[in-house]
Structure 1
């Protein structure tokens, strides 16, 4: 039985349990209205969201590769968005980044079956943990807002550990902190590099959460398109 193979389950948070895109979309629509960005008459709210999302993803890749700092990421994503939309950096409202950071983690959208599956896994005796590259100051708010905190024994953030996924040292830190061993541990996440390859290099089996069924050529221990499929594995 596979239930005997693993004891510790390590989840990613953003894009795996907590629906970052849905929550960011709602937050950005709020900010578009709050700051009356329609007054510029040059971009729609959907264009604003699309451009911001592309820029934010690119900056996150730089951050995860240790090429920019957390502060640089937060300070540059909105000014770059406005420039890409044909305005100037000075057109970016002064406090919009802080507003985004304050409002976003209060959103509660999670992927389908999140609570059902976490209840199922906990009831079966698995010990659940989180490993996240997200910033500590907002990850705990996200967990509380979406009623997820109580499922996890340990919440390991890259900010506290000092290493970002896919660096194998964050996975080693997680194993040491939880008292787990690699063979009895399973990593579940949506990012092929950070979650799958990072866990693989640290000796952990992996579940690639691929809800959009993106084509790829990476070898994974398991692959799922819906969190409910974890019940078939565990």
Structure 2
């Protein structure tokens, strides 16, 4: 019986690919005077490539961009500060996010979140998506001093929600950090499919759309 569902954020509830592209376009326009010598399409593509699905922090991304494109009128610190403060305004949720969270909450399911990342940035993004209205407990790796796939961060979330591993379901887009990490502590796990991670993983339970999650949870309830 599933009593709690715990979510990842980026790539699971937050459509990070679309959000990032929107943010880069917005930032490019904001600093157009300094960036106009670079074709917008080229700048966006290179940013996304260097970002590596969010697994490279933006200090490194901006330093590399400044060097590659010979940008001397901006500093990476300026651009990073703008990223931290402004990314929230480009946050786009996946389809059915709010509906699923609301339905689970209404059915008495406890809701949690574990996200790897920096506290300030992730807190702003969570607020932008309105997730605090539904989630009972949120663990951000920087704040916790530990990150997925380490077992301890999953166990902390379970303790805060007051459920046993077998009574919980974890939903995430990263096969190792999310799915395997959760399974290693005895949780049920569902992969929110992302073609970026499609090979060489074989995962038993997966969904394409968050709307599919309700049936999975209700079958176990």
| TM-score with structure 2 setting the length | 0.88
Within the alignment, does 1:9 sit opposite 2:19 as a pair? no
The equivalent of 1:161 in structure 2 is 144
Query: Residue 202 of structure 1 aligns to a residue in which SS?
Result: coil
Displacement over 4 Å in runs of 4+: 89-92, 211-214
Alignment equivalent of 1:97, drawn from 76, 80, 94: 80
Query: Residue 186 of structure 1 aligns to a residue in which SS?
Result: strand
Query: Residue 2 of structure 2 aligns to a residue in which SS?
Result: coil
Within the alignment, does 1:39 sit opposite 2:36 as a pair? yes
CA distance in 2, matches of 1:192, 1:198: 8
Q: Is the alpha carbon distance of 1:76 and 1:18 closer, same or farther for their aligned partners in structure 2, counting shifts above 3 Å?
A: same
Within the alignment, does 1:23 sit opposite 2:23 as a pair? no
Within the alignment, does 1:87 sit opposite 2:69 as a pair? yes
Alignment equivalent of 1:187, drawn from 160, 167, 170: 170
The equivalent of 2:210 in structure 1 is 227
The equivalent of 1:56 in structure 2 is 51
Q: CA offsets, 1:149-178, max 9 Å, x none? A: 111000011112211111112112212222
Query: What is the Cα-based RMSD across aligned positions, in Å?
Result: 2.1
- Point out the more displaced range, 185-194 or 48-57: 48-57
Query: Residue 116 of structure 1 aligns to a residue in which SS?
Result: helix
Q: Is the alpha carbon distance of 1:201 and 1:90 closer, same or farther for their aligned partners in structure 2, counting shifts above 3 Å?
A: farther
CA distance in 2, matches of 1:56, 1:126: 35
Query: Residue 36 of structure 2 aligns to a residue in which SS?
Result: helix
Contact 1:186 1:205 in 2 (8 A): yes
CA distance in 2, matches of 1:35, 1:16: 30
Contact 1:212 1:225 in 2 (8 A): no
Runs of 5+ in structure 2 lacking a partner? none
1:44 Cα deviation after fit: 2.2
Within the alignment, does 1:76 sit opposite 2:60 as a pair? yes
